[in-house]
Structure 1
């Protein structure tokens, strides 16, 4: 499942959120196989090398409601 809303800026996220270990929206820890994979994202900072980050969102009602609003 891909998010229909723009993802938050990667610079505002914790390492756990960037790596998909925590929900990109509410920071809920996500175990292996839990949550919705939002797809690999590529970032090209103005200074430095490009890199990938791997957001996921949890199944919590708040995150599901965010998708429909």
Structure 2
């Protein structure tokens, strides 16, 4: 479940959109080391709608440290 507003998908790396990297700090996520934020649907101004699959680090303090630095 998303607890804060997700960053704009247009600003994310492909790895973040696919759930391979954290949406906040861009760290690579190993199996069992992340939380699923739910499937998201994007309807761009041009082009077809698509789905993306955000995930975040389980260790919020470490994620915040990486984001700040």
Q: Using structure 2 for the length normalisation, give the TM-score.
A: 0.82
Aligned length: 63
Q: Give the unaligned 5+ runs of structure 1.
A: 65-69
Distance 1:36 1:54 in 2: 11
Distance 1:63 1:38 in 2: 15
What is residue 34 of structure 1 aligned with on the other side? 33
Please report how far the alpha carbon of residue 34 of structure 1 lies from its aligned counterpart in structure 2 after TM superposition: 2.6
Please report how far the alpha carbon of residue 62 of structure 1 lies from its aligned counterpart in structure 2 after TM superposition: 4.5
User: Which digits, 9 at most, give the CA deviation of each residue in 1:4-52, with x for residues without a partner?
Assistant: 2110000000000000000000011012333000000000001000000
Q: Give the unaligned 5+ runs of structure 2.
A: 65-69
Please report how far the alpha carbon of residue 3 of structure 1 lies from its aligned counterpart in structure 2 after TM superposition: 1.6
Distance 2:62 2:5 in 1: 16
Dislocated runs of 4+, deviation >2 Å: none
| Residue 6 (structure 1) aligned with residue 1 (structure 2) | no
